[in-house]
Amino acid sequence: MTDIVFPNNNETEFIKTAEDLGIDSLCFVYEYSGSFSEKLEEVSELKKKTKIGLFVGAFCSEKQVQSAKRLADLILVKGVENNRQLVERGLADIIYELEAMQHRDFIYQKNSGLNHVLTEIAAKKELMVGLSFSFLINAEPKLRVKLMGRMMQNIRLSKKYKVTVAVASFAKVPEEMRSMTDLRSLFVCLGMEQGMAKAAMNAVSERIKENQDKKSPDYIGKGIRLLK
């Protein structure tokens, strides 16, 4: 499992927690700004001090995606009030916190940031839906129930239209991280079958590997490489 975390000069604490929880690797996510290259160098140095795999993700706006892809292992965008344009362009790897819609839920459907049309488009664009553990636990108790319902709906939609779901802690501090077993148990309770939950645990690792392969001069297409 590769967990997604958002460090703030506390990378070593995240690494220690990952080691304690038995997490294979971490993707440190930073805002894509002028200091992004410096963060890449810092993480490169940290790799020499741990057996945990370390990757770098970029949290960026839609306009920054193409530039960020050249440097980052993973591209993330946060859900907005109207996700249609983000989903249709499908430039990022993961769109997360879709459930944070300010509008009320409908009578027969949750206002979960996804609908049948958007989910079908996301599947075609290979855009992953990120489910954030920290977003859920940091919500106020009354709101947490609503968010769980919205996550359950997004799980059902993703399953129906074969959208890849990526589960991670999305932790802002190390204390928000959880083991793979704990995360899988939670999302099974929210409606995932065991197979879907296992795939969701591995989705980030697989996408990072795919993105790294694309940067190779031998890369031709998905699953196809030039033999020398």
Average pLDDT, the chain: 89
Q: Given this model, what pLDDT does residue 126 score?
A: 93
For residues 141 and 139, what is the distance between their CA atoms, to the nearest angstrom? 6
- Average pLDDT for residues 86-103, to the nearest whole number? 81
For residues 62 and 91, what is the distance between their CA atoms, to the nearest angstrom? 8
For residues 163 and 88, what is the distance between their CA atoms, to the nearest angstrom? 14
Q: Given this model, what pLDDT does residue 109 score?
A: 53
Q: What is the pLDDT of residues 31-80, one digit of tens each?
A: 998 889 999 999 999 999 999 999 999 988 778 888 899 999 999 988 76
**Residue 4, beta-bridge partner list:** 27
Kindly tell me if the per-residue pLDDT of 197 is higher than 90.
yes
Q: Which two tokens stand for residue 60?
A: 């960026």
Kindly tell me if the per-residue pLDDT of 104 is higher than 70.
no
- Average pLDDT for residues 170-195, to the nearest whole number? 95
- Average pLDDT for residues 76-95, to the nearest whole number? 81
pTM summary value: 0.90
Cα–Cα distances (Å) from 69 to 100, 120, 171, 184, 208, in that order, read 26, 24, 22, 29, 11
Q: Is residue 95 classed as helix, strand or coil in its secondary structure?
A: strand
**Which domains occur in the chain, in start order?**
2-225 (3.20.20.140)
